[in-house]
Amino acid sequence: MTVEKLLEAAGRPAEIVDAADGLRPALNVCRARSAVIVKLADGIGPAEIGAGLAGWRRTLTVADSGELTTVDPRDAVTRRWTAPDAVLCLADNEFLTSSDGWALPDEEFASRSHVLGAEVRAFVLARLAPRPGVLVWDVLAGSGAVAVECARLGAAVLAVEPDPVQCVRIIANASAHGVDVRVEEAELDTASLPRPDAVFVGRGQLAEVKACAAVSARRVVVVTESVDEIVPARDALQAAGYEVEGVHWTASRLLDSGFAPAVPVTVLWGSKK
């Protein structure tokens, strides 16, 4: 009966997850989807859900002793609850689910210069393995093409980009594709962010690679156009306990007049041993 009441309160289709399967997967579905009902479990109540949603624009409706109470996530942390058994997590807007493939054409994304080409993006997505229940960081996100694609595949996504103009583009690209990407307009501060399952570093800058490697996500993917950054990035991942592989990409697209000039990039990916 509780779930039915929360479904009615949602006013839109809602996903149902069970916190007994773990707090982090439940939170990541709430971070990625517009309407989620979380069945609570021992040690996981409205306070834990509310705390985990800091930084995401959500409203919580808590089913407590047969009554429904709507609160801000911050208030869910401090409020005293009697016998809560489920929480509805609701975003202002309804997000879309992907139905038209992935590795979208480059022109699908507004960009200052160029986005990571669709061919390379497809490979990066395969190594990141975005899916419902996981959190992906897109660090030095640029226009956010990888962040948006991960969100379209159901992952919760946090994009870190210090350039304010690029942050506007990330928000615009996410909105255009009907997904929610949390944007941090700042230099990377790993201690202030929820722990990711996978990390993409869009430029192979050593400081960011080292910081991301230290977070111990299961997968870290790094892309660089600079030959000088390849070995330092590989060594940083290996020093953090990752098994590292890599590939050098020079994909050239077929045009009516022949092949387009290739923009060579190197993709490194590390998996936790």
For the chain, residues classed under CATH 3.30.950.10 are: 1-91
At the top level of CATH, which class does the domain 1-91 belong to? alpha beta
pLDDT in tens, 25-71: 999 999 999 999 999 999 999 999 999 999 999 999 999 999 999 99
Chain region(s) in the chain for CATH 3.40.50.150: 106-271
Q: What is the pLDDT of residue 98?
A: 65
Angle at 211 between CA 208 and CA 213, to 5 degrees: 105
| d(C-alpha 216, C-alpha 211), whole Å | 10
- What Cα–Cα distance (Å) separates residue 153 from each residue in 48, 131, 200? 25, 6, 15
Running DSSP on this structure, what letter comes out for residue 7?
H
pLDDT tens digit sequence for 119-155: 999 999 999 999 999 999 999 999 999 999 999 999 9
Please name the residues in contact with 86: beta carbons below 8 A apart, sequence gap of 6 or more.
2, 3, 6, 37, 38, 39, 40, 62, 63
Average of pLDDT values for 165-175?
Answer: 96
The superfamily (CATH) of domain 106-271 is: Vaccinia Virus protein VP39 (3.40.50.150)
